[in-house]
Amino acid sequence: MRRTILALLLLTPAGLWAQRQTLSLNGVWEVDESVGASDIPSAFGHKVPVPGLTNTAEPAFPGVDEFDSFEGIRKKVRMKLLPESAMIATVGVPRQNRNYFWYRTRFRAPAKKEVAMLKVNKAQFGSAVWLNGKLVGEHLGCFTAGYFDLAGAIQWQGENSLVIRIGAHPAAVPETAPTGTDNEKLKWTPGIYDAVSVWFADNPAIESVQVAPRVASSEVVIQTTVKNHGGDRSFTLRHKLAGAPEMAEKLTLKAGERRTLVRTVKLANAKLWTPETPHLYTLETSTGGDTLATRFGMREFRFDTATKRAYLNGRPYFLRGSNITLHRFFEDPQCRRLPWDEKWVRKLLAEIPKRLSWNSFRFCIGPVPDMWLDIADEAGLLIQNEFFVWEYRNQWDTEEMARQYGEWMRDNWNHPSVAIWDASNETRSETLMQIIERVRGLDLSNRPWENGYNIPAGPDDPVEDHPYLFSRLGRGFEIPELERMTGAKTTNSPHPTGHAVIINEYGWLWLNRDGTPTELTKDVYARLVGENATPERRFETYAYYLAGKTEFWRAHRNAAGVLHFVYLTVSYPGGYTADHFTDVESLRLEPNFEDYMTQAFRPLGVYLNFWQPKLPGRGERSFAVMMVNDESSLARGRLSLALAGQGGKELAKSETPFLIPALGQQTYQLTLRIPEGAGDYQLNSTVS
């Protein structure tokens, strides 16, 4: 029995200009497999959701995501988890008897138009498209949108059979093209993991619109690329934006001509986009034959080397937040359909981060579906958007890399949430530096670039720091040393710099969701609580130290952003890191983490600079309490420091008024009389 998607035909945008018709192809597709690249299956015996992953197909494919990457094997050898004989010298080794998956669906086309374009937002690993048995194009990108011209093969006002072939593993893609590098991924899951649609229009077609805000002058720069797929054509290009005068320009394109135009329009009384007030605008563009609606925010974001700060709309702004490694979560047994469940994603990105006072995320080593960035725009999150590179050995073709970085920017540059382009994670590569220089000018908003462990590519670009102090616990680092440290950049980011620093990884205390240590933290917990500690003891220890280090990095004001690692990732035996959910389907956070970290990330931060495991009894002791104010207004009140004994009984207390200027920091010394008698005590610092 044949199954056909019930596709939704939309007119976009609404109104008199509504000439583009968009057909969503999201839904349940047929899928099957092959070894050869041209072996289109004669029958499709499985069903799979699009967008989604092939490991959710029914009936299931065996070993669908079994693949040993070069980087993963090398890390295991380095950690002595595998012998050196396991090393390989290629992109990796598939552990499955297939190279390709073939997806099939059917759709009905409307009355004839001059343009029919298929958009596959993201598919891995690579994609090739057949329509009605005719090959219409291929796209090597695993993290960028592929566009395919269907006009030469489409059946107008009839049913069309669409087949998309993707690689079953990274080795199915030519070695010249990037498929992602991640030393800690254990599985590599294929799938059409973002939306698929086909749109119909007449000439000239709008290929892209980029909107770049100019906050100081209350203007927007509009870059429009149009292409004429037919004969010579005269037309009027129009832009319509609430609060701005309508723009109209008469143009002529020759047959097959593509042209890019840049214009500037004044936007009266512009409302700025910020995490606190994420106001969004929609620009409508028309050629008379095609239309496109582009959503954007009036937002500018940059770093400044002189002050080592981030600036949002011209004012200093401190980043607080975490990381999401979605492509690792794809491996998680609980992942299934969750990343495409809008309600689940909104809770993940919009609801929980607000409770934790987070305003920022790094989408780490791998992109997210477009829906995630749409939600981030609406929720008010500043995203450090990272390309899927961790260690670059010049293994890919430089031209192909530059082309895909440019596509990645094109796909994302209208999102106000995308604040930082991140070319790589923990990587040193002169080639990546050269690629940044080549593509940087494509972004008319001139966002900053962060590039792993390279020297900054631009004069005001930031650098990342990963101060994993606890990885050296007992081997050159002891916890009380934190009292004497200043929070300055560590050797984890190996080059000297005076640029702004983002601490976007720290901790080294990961626990699996069942409370067991990960492969990287077994020795840490053996030292901290002993090998036989209960899961609850480990969870409480984890939350306590993570919150303390969060307060430490924030209090010293040596970082423009503090983003902990990691909010969402994979969790299973043999994994290297893990997240903080006891139930990832319901997004229930581990209670100790939520309790401690809700306090640690408050905009008005309090840090008690005391890490001693023991304190001599009797006499007075002075304690340094450091406070930070991330708000743009003055903070004042009373600061208290109390010593509690058994049962929470208060034994000593000291108070002082505090006054912290906007975006400022201040340290206070409070003195307590320490009682006699051995026992367990607790120091509590609070503000009112």
Quote the crossing angle between the two packed helices 430-439 and 398-412, to the nearest 10°: 50
Rounded Cα distance, 329 and 189, in Å: 10
With 70 as the cut, is the pLDDT of residue 671 above it? Answer: yes
pLDDT at 2: 33
Whether pLDDT at 661 is above 90:
yes
Residue 4's pLDDT band (boundaries 50, 70, 90)? very low
Alpha helices in 385-484 (DSSP H): 398-412, 430-439
Q: What is the mean pLDDT of residues 295-303?
A: 98
What do you get for the CA distance between the two ends of the chain, in Å? 68
φ and ψ of 355, to 5 deg: -65, -30
pLDDT score recorded for residue 392: 83
Q: Quick: pLDDT tens for 460-469.
A: 999 999 999 9
> Is the pLDDT higher at 259 or at 648?
259
| 394: phi then psi, degrees, rounded to nearest 5 | 55, 35
What domains are there in the chain, each with its CATH number? 8-201 (2.60.120.260), 205-296 (2.60.40.10), 302-602 (3.20.20.80), 607-687 (2.60.40.10)
Q: What three-state secondary structure class fits 648?
A: helix
Condensed to tens digits (0 to 9), the pLDDT of residues 193-209 reads 999 999 999 999 999 99
Q: 136 pLDDT exceeds 80?
A: yes
Residues near 203 by beta carbon (within 8 Å), at least 6 away in sequence: 114, 115, 228, 229, 230, 233, 235, 253, 287, 289, 290
Q: What are phi and psi of 554, to 5 degrees?
A: -70, -40
Query: Average of pLDDT values for 579-590?
Result: 98
Burial of 225 (0-12, 13-18, 19+ CB in 10 A): middle
Task: Provide the pLDDT for residue 150.
Answer: 98
- Average pLDDT of 119-135? 98
Nearest to 283 by CA among 17, 25, 53: 17
Please give the residue that has the higher pLDDT: either 316 or 573. Answer: 316
CA atoms within 13 A on the CB side of 573: 0
Burial class (CB in 10 A: 0-12, 13-18, 19+), 668: middle
Q: Closest Cα partner for 624 from 542, 528, 551, 543? A: 551
Between 303 and 392, the higher pLDDT residue: 303
What pLDDT is recorded for position 173? 95
Distance CA 102, CA 162 (A): 10
Q: What is the mean pLDDT of residues 534-541?
A: 98
In the chain, what percentage of residues exceed pLDDT 70?
Answer: 95
Confidence of residue 103 (pLDDT cuts 50, 70, 90): very high
Q: What distance in Å separates the CA atoms of residue 163 and residue 196, rounded to the nearest whole number?
A: 12
CA dist., res. 321 & res. 601, Å (int): 8
Average pLDDT over residues 544-553: 98
Using DSSP's 3-state secondary structure scheme, residue 62 falls into coil
pLDDT at position 82, please? 67
**Distance between CA 476 and CA 125 in Å, rounded?**
43
Confidence of residue 578 (pLDDT cuts 50, 70, 90): very high
Strand pairing category for 100-108 and 205-214: unpaired
Count of beta carbons in the 10 Å neighbourhood of residue 307: 11
- Mean pLDDT over residues 40-45, rounded? 95
Contacts of 232 (CB under 8 A, 6+ apart): 252, 253, 254, 255
Mean pLDDT throughout 468-484? 93
* CA 344, 346, 350, 355 torsion-angle sign: negative
The pLDDT of residue 87 is above 70: no
Look at residue 10 in the predicted model and tell me its pLDDT.
Answer: 47
Lowest-pLDDT range, 82-86, 113-117, 310-314? 82-86
505 pLDDT above the threshold of 50: yes
Q: Name the average pLDDT for the chain.
A: 93
The tokens describing 641, both together, are 């420091």
3-class SS of residue 441: helix
pLDDT band at 88 (very low <50, low <70, confident <90, very high): low
Three-state secondary-structure class, residue 502: strand
Interacting residues of 430 by C-beta distance below 8 A, sequence separation 6+:
none
214-220 mean pLDDT? 96
Query: CA torsion angle for 270, 271, 272, 276 (degrees, to 10)?
Result: 170
Cα three-residue angle 143-506-76, rounded to 5 degrees: 65
Q: What is the pLDDT of residues 228-245, one digit of tens each?
A: 999 999 999 999 999 999
At 7 the pLDDT is: 45
Q: Is the pLDDT of residue 401 over 80?
A: yes
Cα separation, 340 vs 375, whole angstroms: 12
**Among positive and negative, which fits the CA dihedral 171, 76, 465, 458?**
negative
Output the DSSP codes for 220-287. Answer: EEEEEEEE--SS-EEEEEEEEETTS--EEEEEEE-TT-EEEEEEEEE-TTPPBB-SSSB--EEEEEE-
Residue 652: the pLDDT is 94
The yes-or-no verdict on residue 89 having pLDDT over 70 is no
Strands 561-568 and 501-503: parallel
pLDDT for residue 70 = 74
| Token digits of residue 501 | 């620093």
